Structure 1
Amino acid sequence: MSTIDYKCPGCGGGMVYNSEIGMLYCASCGREEKIEQFAAKYKLEQEHDSSLQQFHCNSCGAELITDQLSAATVCSFCGSGVIIGERLAGKWSPDLVIPFTISKEEAIDAFRKWCRNGRFTPKGFMSANRIKAITGMYVPFWLYDLDNDVEVKARATRIRTYIQGDYQYTETQHYALYRKLKLNYSQVPIDASEKMNDSLMDKLEPFPYEQLKSFQVPYLAGFVAEKYSYNEDEMLPRADEKVKSYIDAYIQSTLGGFTTVSVTDNDVRRSVKHAKYALLPVWVLHYDYNQLEYTFAMNGQTGKVVGKPPISKGKIALWFGVSTTATLLIIKSISAFMGGGFW
């Protein structure tokens, strides 16, 4: 199996993508190279068998093992970025990529700051340095452009109550409503990795899609990347499910001003305008605390952190006690002000 790595023209060391400068960088001599200069040098050729798991690092010759979904990795022996070219060729070739802008050091600092903001997080979790592993990973996503033609029929009432003379009247007007809508959604993101938790990935949104770039292999140097586990047809039902809540909310916004509304028919005809394969940047952190491992994810562009930290029962009890005491004092003060007694 062929692999790609990027050698420094100055010293021959391995070059990786540096998120701070947006260029390939050599840690040995400090040389910087533009992505475009290296991207044109490598033509990805697809091989018949891309399921092999064993290959060699071009820098140090070490034998490396990956699963068949890995498209880029880092040599654990010499630290060189290693790209498995045939897993990025043909149908596996991404259309777009959002490069990392948050470095590993910045990701660790942002994660620690996020931990300190946890109201009910144990003190030991916030202060301890127990980051077991942190990996910069390009996660495969499908970005869908969906056009939706929507027709809605509903029955509605508008009720008015008024007094005339000695009598109170209730007037009910009935309406038959019809709405014809065209709702188009662009770049609806659905992660296509079998390994990644879907809920975790959904919570990382939004990604800054204005930062999307045409895919170039050197962006992956020094990071881990996977090819997609599911194609665009297999993930389309999740995209439909995702936009359904937006469609329903917009429909409701067009049916305002009535006392009651009952939708009798809701016909949505969806067409896929585009489905593009993109790699999006995610820092994955594994944190060891109290003999348990916690997994967190960070948006590699915005720094947003998602995950569930442990909860301190003592902090919850203290917060509840303080809140209860404060509530009782407020009630007692109001009662005293009104001339009553409270015990």
Structure 2
Amino acid sequence: MILHYKCPNCGSDMKYDSESGNLSCSSCGNNEHIDSYDEIHIEKTFEEEEAKEYQCENCGAVVITDADTTATSCSFCRAPVVLADRLSGDLAPARVIPFTISKEEAMAAFKKWCKNGRLTPKGFMTADRVKSVTGIYVPFWMYDLDNDIEVKATGTKVRTYTRGDYRYTETHYYDVYRSLEARYVKVPVDASEKMDDELMDKLEPYNYSELKDFKTPYLAGYLAEKYNYTDEQLFGRVKSKIQSFVDTYIKSTISGYTSVTYQQRDIRTKPVNSDYVLLPVWMVYYDFDKKEHTFAMNGQTGKIVGKPPVSYKKVALWFSSISASVYAIFLIITLILGGGY
């Protein structure tokens, strides 16, 4: 089923506005609050389940969609549509963080970010080769995890002292045992096979206090994907994701020793809860030096991640300036200490 959100005033298509948080009509300027929007104005079209083709009700054009797409727009008339059948049952998200950064704001922020690249090529810094800026709701599983931890280790305390003409080292050994519990909440893992996992991880953190109950109008005017992996399939990845935090927590409970050697670290991680959520991401595709570079922006906080190209000339100049500075400092210290050169 395909949804078009129609303006009650003029009948034009409405889309979600990141600034006001409402459905907005670009034709007459009307704004409709999502919670009070009357469903009689939703235009519905029924299609076969998982269909990759639909007919736009505005202009009649046939538009091909990816089987994973849940929201898109008509390539011909740009009308925003939501593929509701792909958002129902097990595919229905529980929560969503709406976009708070508009496309224009995202583009301006990206250009500013490019200009701040100290080691990027001069041509890249102008940001004048951006191919597209696309707002996508990316599917994530968000986990609450309980960890039961049992640790056995040997700690040492080393004391060195001098007595007469002799220097002594005294080492004491201690058995260390810890039985710990740790809970981590709202740990996100992206569930789309199209998205780069490392890129999505670096977009964190989001402000999860802004999570809202999912409603389809939030997707109007943006692309959206459905998940490719279940929460069970991604459980191993979320365990790996919290591993460094668990390690840090264990170390924080064992202090005061010169060294610690672990004999046993038994970590039992249990999922308490997992929610299917959609998080906002601006994807920026930049064509530079005959290559396409992909960047991502957190659609809520504006954080930008990605690997910009590097100017080897600037890198060489940077190292040269560092070497010259070190040499100058060394020369000044030598002169102060009375040395010569």
- Tell me the distance in 2 between the aligned counterparts of 1:210 and 1:187: 10
Aligned structure 1 segments of 4 or more residues deviating by more than 2 angstroms: 37-43, 47-51, 162-171
Kindly state the Cα deviation for residue 339 of structure 1 after the two structures are TM-superposed. 2.0
- Tell me the distance in 2 between the aligned counterparts of 1:55 and 1:175: 70
In structure 2, the partner of 1:75 is 74
In structure 2, the partner of 1:324 is 323
In structure 1, the partner of 2:267 is 268
CA contact (8 A) 2:139 2:277 kept: yes
AA aligned opposite 1:325: A
Kindly state the Cα deviation for residue 240 of structure 1 after the two structures are TM-superposed. 0.5
- Tell me the distance in 1 between the aligned counterparts of 2:223 and 2:285: 15
Kindly state the Cα deviation for residue 80 of structure 1 after the two structures are TM-superposed. 1.2
Kindly state the Cα deviation for residue 290 of structure 1 after the two structures are TM-superposed. 1.9
- Tell me the distance in 1 between the aligned counterparts of 2:324 and 2:118: 19
Residue ranges of structure 2 left out of the alignment (5+ in a row) = none
Kindly state the Cα deviation for residue 75 of structure 1 after the two structures are TM-superposed. 1.2
Greater shift in the superposed pair: 210-219 or 164-173: 164-173
- Tell me the distance in 1 between the aligned counterparts of 2:147 and 2:291: 45
- Tell me the distance in 2 between the aligned counterparts of 1:233 and 1:256: 36
Identity among equivalent positions (%) equals 52
What does the per-residue CA deviation read over 1:200-220, in whole Å, with 9 as the maximum and x for residues that have no partner?
000000111011000000000
Kindly state the Cα deviation for residue 258 of structure 1 after the two structures are TM-superposed. 0.4
- Tell me the distance in 2 between the aligned counterparts of 1:163 and 1:146: 51
In structure 2, the partner of 1:248 is 247
- Tell me the distance in 1 between the aligned counterparts of 2:207 and 2:70: 23
- Aligned CA RMSD, in angstroms, stands at 1.7
Name the TM-score, length of structure 2 as normaliser: 0.95
In structure 1, the partner of 2:99 is 100
Kindly state the Cα deviation for residue 305 of structure 1 after the two structures are TM-superposed. 0.3
What does the per-residue CA deviation read over 1:34-70, in whole Å, with 9 as the maximum and x for residues that have no partner?
0112375699x9x995321000112222111011100
AA aligned opposite 1:212: L
Helix, strand or coil at the partner of 2:243: helix
Structure 2 vs 1, CA of residues 179 and 297 (structure 1 numbering), >3 Å: closer, same or farther? Answer: same
Residue ranges of structure 1 left out of the alignment (5+ in a row) = none
* Equivalent pairs, count: 339
In structure 2, the partner of 1:171 is 170
Structure 2 vs 1, CA of residues 268 and 203 (structure 1 numbering), >3 Å: closer, same or farther? Answer: same
> Where do residues 154-169 of structure 1 align in structure 2 (5 Å cutoff)?
154-169=153-168
CA contact (8 A) 2:199 2:306 kept: yes
- Tell me the distance in 1 between the aligned counterparts of 2:225 and 2:327: 56
Helix, strand or coil at the partner of 2:8: coil
In structure 2, the partner of 1:112 is 111
